[in-house]
């Protein structure tokens, strides 16, 4: 057999027998992502510094991104034979999430700076204007 063919066969064999190429079961990614997400939530609930809360939100976003990428690979693995680009949606979605996160961070930090200028603190307990 020619070299390319042998590589192809090997790759095919590898593709079809999950254990040999040591693919990860999706559950592990799910648990990891959920854990990171919940750590982010605990951070939001626990901290008082607005900037740290913001960072925990970014952490949550990243957990979701990770899960999306993992699922996109899962779909690709399932359907790669039929459709070459199956699963690319997930990764593109992650791309757009990053876009939005960047925009959000810029605006959010601008607001925090504004807040700091007015009350010289970034403690969220002083932000109770929503009461009225």
Residues within window 41-70 making contact with another protein, judged by CB under 8 A: 41-49, 51-52, 54-56, 58-59, 62, 65-66, 69-70
Q: Please select the residue that binds another protein; options are 8, 13, 18, 81, rule is CB under 8 A.
A: 18
Asked if residues 77 and 68 have their Cβ atoms less than 8 Å apart, the reply is no
CB of 54 to another protein, least distance (A): 8
> Cβ closer to another protein: 6 or 123?
123
Taking each helix axis from N to C terminus, what angle separates 50-79 and 88-119, rounded to the nearest 10 degrees?
Answer: 180
Site string for another protein, 99-128 (x = CB under 8 A): xxxxxxxxx-xxxxxx-xx----xxxx-xx
Site string for another protein, 67-86 (x = CB under 8 A): --xxxxxx-xxx-x---xxx
**Nearest in space to 98 (alpha carbons), one of 71, 132, 65:** 65
Contacts with another protein: how many residues (CB under 8 A)? Answer: 90
Asked if residues 117 and 63 have their Cβ atoms less than 8 Å apart, the reply is no
CB of 118 to another protein, least distance (A): 11
Cα 102 to its chain centre, rounded Å, is 14
Cα 24 to its chain centre, rounded Å, is 17
> Cβ closer to another protein: 1 or 117?
117
């Amino acid at each position: 057999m020619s070299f390319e063919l042998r590589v192809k066969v090997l790759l095919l064999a590898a593709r079809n027998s999950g254990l040999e190429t040591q693919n990860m079961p999706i559950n592990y990614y799910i648990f990891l992502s959920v854990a990171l997400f919940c750590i982010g939530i605990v951070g939001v609930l626990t901290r008082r510094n607005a900037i740290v809360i913001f960072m925990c939100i970014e952490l949550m976003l990243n957990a979701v991104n990770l899960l999306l990428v993992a699922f996109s690979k899962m779909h690709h693995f399932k359907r790669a034979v039929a459709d070459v680009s199956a699963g690319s949606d997930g990764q593109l979605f992650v791309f757009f999430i990053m876009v939005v996160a960047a925009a959000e961070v810029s605006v959010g930090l601008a607001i925090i700076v504004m807040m700091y200028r007015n009350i010289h603190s970034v403690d969220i307990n002083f932000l109770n204007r929503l009461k009225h």
